[in-house]
Amino acid sequence: MRRLIVEDSKIIVQIIAQLVRKISIEYYADSDNVMYADNVPLALNLLSKQAFDYIFLDLNLREELDGLKILEYLRKQQKNIPVFIVTGDNNINTVKQVIKLQPTDYLVKPVSKMKIFRCLEKARELRGLNATVN
């Protein structure tokens, strides 16, 4: 699977990438490609050139709610890529704005192994892949 993490904090990217890799190896016996972008133009460039199986997307990149531009782009392109919002913003108005664009899930930081595991399960289910291998 090809994964994209859109996040401007290198520490958060490392945490999510490590958790994704660890879970992927432990539960699915794969060690797929994890790419990342730290800004909207780079993310849109990657999305225009490559197909991804799912995306972890921060809302607040360089400017407030920058990540919405990426989610809007994906939904306008009719790309049904599972998108997991990962943000520190749990303001009800922000949540309402994001939900209109139908993300796959909305995670409030800090992320945990269990939260990431649930996202991977959901992404695999939406992609029609086998359930958890134990």
Residue-range domain boundaries for the chain: 2-126
Is 57's pLDDT higher than 90?
yes
C-alpha to C-alpha distance for 74 and 55, rounded to whole angstroms: 11
Token representation of residue 19 = 């958790």
Is 134's pLDDT higher than 50?
no
Which pTM was predicted?
A: 0.90
Q: Does CATH place domain 2-126 in 3.40.50.2300?
A: yes
Q: Model confidence over 61-91: pLDDT tens digits?
A: 887 778 999 999 999 987 889 999 999 888 8
Q: Is 26 in a helix, a strand, or coil?
A: helix
C-alpha to C-alpha distance for 60 and 65, rounded to whole angstroms: 5
